[in-house]
Chain A
Amino acid sequence: MRLVLALIAGALFGGGLFVSGMTDTTKVQGWLDVFGDWDPTLAFVMGGAVIPMFFAWRLTKGRRPVAGGAFPAPPRPEVDRRLVTGSVMFGAGWGLAGLCPGPAIASITYAGPGGIVFVAAMVAGMLLAPKVDAQLNRLAAAT
């Protein structure tokens, strides 16, 4: 049951990324590029995705997940330095290549060698993250 639902969710996610054009890096960079030929598509994708999710969150109230277990805990309220520094690093990489994790995975079969290089570097980055995080914490403690 869990695996079937995960496969359906993944397929909807991957299909949505493909159909919306979000695996095309020019559309992502086009949205971020306010000084160039601005492309509004990403805003429609975000809006289109947030609406069903908004109702899904409301449906979690007083219920349990279909496949058992529990729903995620309420979001933590605190905004910390790690959230901001991590997001800034992620955003910089996103702007440089026009790929974020979802589309990078979805386009792995058709983005050519570059797509594989990007995903390999991203996986390496995920492995390095605890070390970078510790280094940033030391820096923050020293200042």
Chain B
Amino acid sequence: METDWIWGLVGGGLIGLGGAVFLLGNGRIMGASGILGGLVDGSGRNTAAERIVFLLGVIVAPLVLWPLYNVEIDTHLTDDLVVLVTAGLLVGVGTRIANGCTSGHGVCGISRLSLRGIVATVFYILAGGLTLAVFRHVLGVI
């Protein structure tokens, strides 16, 4: 749709505002994998409450906005179990080893001109594009 980019820009702005609130308010970097990962492995025990509340906000916001949309919302997520489990494992392991994902390294890292954030972003985009090219266009499995 030709309005997709406008919604992308608006939604992106909201994401950036969320990051700004978390940074200027709590002094924290808004990285989804770091916030969840710290709860999962216990490294974020001291800030567990604020992590849980943040994630709650992430989950609840779409449900609140949902009724305002009269279009059907579909995530188009694959139902292939092998793909889902492999992808989930790779995302979980990779973001913890790299210490960040699209929000932490991408949004928060690039905006402070962090070399690590920029390098991470270049590599996960290249890896994502290459993986999709191979598995969709060469092997035809996704």
Q: Answer yes or no: are A and B bound together in one complex.
A: yes
Using a CB–CB cutoff of 8 Å, the interface residues on chain A facing chain B are 1-3, 5-27, 29, 32-36, 39-57, 59-60, 63-72, 75-79, 82-102, 104-115, 117-130, 132-133, 136
- Tell me the dominant secondary structure on chain A's binding face: helix
For B15, what are the chain A residues with a Cβ–Cβ distance below 8 Å? 12-13, 16-17, 20, 45, 48-49
Nearest B residue to A89 via CB reads B94
With A23-B75, A96-B131, A126-B37 as contacts: A48 and B13 at CB distance below 8 Å: yes
Assess whether A101 is in contact with B107, with CB atoms less than 8 Å apart. Answer: no
Q: How many residues of B are in contact with the other chain, CB < 8 A? A: 108
5 A-B pairs besides A2-B49, A49-B12, A57-B112 with CB distance below 8 A are: A21-B7, A33-B136, A36-B136, A83-B116, A95-B129
User: What is the CA–CA distance of A59 and B111 in the complex, to the nearest angstrom?
Assistant: 12
Using a CB–CB cutoff of 8 Å, the interface residues on chain B facing chain A are 4-30, 32-33, 36-37, 40-41, 49-51, 53-66, 73-79, 81, 83-99, 101-103, 105-112, 114-117, 119-121, 123-133, 135-137, 142
For B28, what are the chain A residues with a Cβ–Cβ distance below 8 Å? 72
Assess whether A40 is in contact with B87, with CB atoms less than 8 Å apart. Answer: no
User: Contact partner of B98 among A6, A26, A59, A87, CB < 8 A?
Assistant: A87
Residue with the greatest number of chain B CB neighbours at <10 A, chosen from A7, A14, A24, A59? A14
Assess whether B4 is in contact with A41, with CB atoms less than 8 Å apart. Answer: yes
For A95, what are the chain B residues with a Cβ–Cβ distance below 8 Å? 127-132, 135
